Structure 1
Amino acid sequence: MRCDERRQQRGELLQQIALDAGLTAADISAADVTALNALTAAPCGIWADGEVTSLSLMDAIAGSIGAFYAFDRFGVLRMGRVSAPAGPPAVTFDDVVIQALSIAEAGIPVWQVTLNYAKNWTVQSQPAGSVSVDRRTWLSQDTRSQVAKDATVQTAWPSATDQTFDTVLVNAADATAEASRRLALLSRRMLMSIDIDLSQLGTLDLGSVVGFAYPRYGLSSKLMTVVGVDAGADTHLATLTLWG
């Protein structure tokens, strides 16, 4: 199966694979599907035979566009695109609400991103003689690549790394745009964990954007995205993992 042949957008593809795997429409956030569709229309293509699993198909599609999917604390399948937090926060935390806070770097900064795309599912080193030189070259390669780099990150962070991602994107322009987008996300971000009283959790869930009225760590003007929720009923505390 080539997923672009089904003429569905990326959110719809993830939704359909989940439905085929046994979930019902009520198990999947329709609003998330619509939102993900609106974020990208980049075509992707993947070959699926009898050995493939629904999970591996969803991983390949989501990974190609920088998306995520997961079940929230209510058992609903959520999905979205990993993006820098933006917009008005759902809630603003201050030093009264925050009972504990710890900060860590979200990995070593990245100065170069290589994105593999246009995967050739049948590599051929010796095609028929009538095949053109350009086509012969294409058939002999497993994938093509686009690179985004920022040397200023490497200057500021000598230990900065480069990362390579395999995708099932089809077009060079989409691969270029996604490589640049990921470089901006990975060049430097913060990972933080906070504890709040369970009563303060409200409707916060995966993907919610939060702000701070907090005097330390330069958080007073910072937005972060909820990427993990541990609602510990036994402790009456909710631990939020935040990224941004």
Structure 2
Amino acid sequence: MGRLVAPAGDPAVTFRRFGGGVVAEAANDADIISSELLAPQDPGAGLPVRRVVVRYARNWTPQTTGINGGVSDARRAWLAEPYRATAPAEDAAVAAKHPLAEDLVIDTLLVHAADAAAERDRQLALRSVRRDRLRIRSRLDADLLAAVDVGAVVRVVQPRWRCDAGRLFVVIGPAIDARISGLDVVVWG
């Protein structure tokens, strides 16, 4: 298990679309055999989110009936809800640029309001920009396989999907394809 963060830093591997006489520029370059843009799985179908709410302090047994008469109204309200929730954090610039952008509600096991607010703000910063998922197929190589573990930062350089000048991604799913001695890497960024 890990924490999904925006890609940053030095890439472990640079995946390049070679061709036209271009050869690898560095020892950690890998040839892209094929690549594809994967369908978005986020709530906004690829759009940045405009508002984030983090639900925390889970109430495992919500109650609306059978509560003693001496219980305060505030406590009754808390007992009826499955979670407490942070006030939403919103990015007005995203809402203006993407009118169809959706809200993101995240259920957590966090207990404290301050932790939930910090996670809400982190998620808004992470998801208020466009993110893409790509599947990159490359040759299978032991060094390459060791370098592209889940969470590793990689660079993709190819004339597609805003990667012309090179773009950083985070590896979210490496898989070996033994039929073709290839490595399929799903990246996000």
Q: Which residue of 1 aligns with 2:46?
A: 108
Q: Which residue of 1 aligns with 2:152?
A: 208
| 1:164 aligned counterpart, secondary structure | strand
| 1:225 aligned counterpart, secondary structure | strand
Q: Which residue of 1 aligns with 2:28?
A: none
Deviation at 1:215, TM superposition (A): 5.0
| Contact in 2 for aligned 1:108/1:161 (Cα 8 Å) | no
Q: Which residue of 2 aligns with 1:223?
A: 168
User: Is residue 85 of structure 1 aligned with residue 7 of structure 2?
Assistant: yes
Deviation at 1:167, TM superposition (A): 1.7
C-alpha separation between the residues in 2 aligned to 1:241 and 1:228? 5
User: Is residue 236 of structure 1 aligned with residue 146 of structure 2?
Assistant: no
C-alpha separation between the residues in 1 aligned to 2:136 and 2:63? 53
Deviation at 1:142, TM superposition (A): 2.6
Deviation at 1:91, TM superposition (A): 1.2
The structure carrying a bigger helix percent of its residues is 1
Pick one of 121, 133, 137 that aligns with 2:60: 121
- Residue identity matched to 1:211: R
When residues 150 and 141 of structure 1 are mapped into structure 2, their CA distance, relative to the original with a 3 A threshold, is same
Q: 5 Å matches for 1:140-219?
A: 140-146=80-86, 147-187=88-128, 188-199=130-141, 201-203=144-146, 204-219=148-163
C-alpha separation between the residues in 2 aligned to 1:124 and 1:101? 51
When residues 208 and 235 of structure 1 are mapped into structure 2, their CA distance, relative to the original with a 3 A threshold, is same
C-alpha separation between the residues in 2 aligned to 1:117 and 1:162? 17
- Residue identity matched to 2:46: I
C-alpha separation between the residues in 2 aligned to 1:121 and 1:103? 40
- TM-score for both structures, normalised by structure 1: 0.60
| 1:108 aligned counterpart, secondary structure | coil
* CA RMSD, Structure 1 to Structure 2 (Å): 2.3
| Contact in 2 for aligned 1:124/1:140 (Cα 8 Å) | yes
Per-residue CA distance 1:24-78 (angstroms, 9 max, x = gap):
xxxxxxxxxxxxxxxxxxxxxxxxxxxxxxxxxxxxxxxxxxxxxxxxxxxxxxx
- Residue identity matched to 1:99: I
| Contact in 2 for aligned 1:108/1:160 (Cα 8 Å) | no
Moved over 6 A (4+): none
Specify the structure having the higher radius of gyration (Cα). 2
Deviation at 1:226, TM superposition (A): 1.0
Deviation at 1:202, TM superposition (A): 3.2
Q: 5 Å matches for 1:31-50?
A: none
Structure 1's unaligned 5+ residue stretches are: 1-78
| 1:80 aligned counterpart, secondary structure | coil
| Contact in 2 for aligned 1:108/1:159 (Cα 8 Å) | no
- Residue identity matched to 1:161: E
C-alpha separation between the residues in 2 aligned to 1:198 and 1:151? 45
Per-residue CA distance 1:69-93 (angstroms, 9 max, x = gap):
xxxxxxxxxx211111122111122
Deviation at 1:132, TM superposition (A): 4.0
Relative contact order (alpha carbons < 8 A, sep ≥ 6): 1 or 2 greater? 2
How many residue pairs match? The answer is 166
Per-residue CA distance 1:121-177 (angstroms, 9 max, x = gap):
233446434444433432333321112221221222222111222222111111111
- TM-score for both structures, normalised by structure 2: 0.75
Per-residue CA distance 1:70-117 (angstroms, 9 max, x = gap):
xxxxxxxxx211111122111122222112122246333221122211
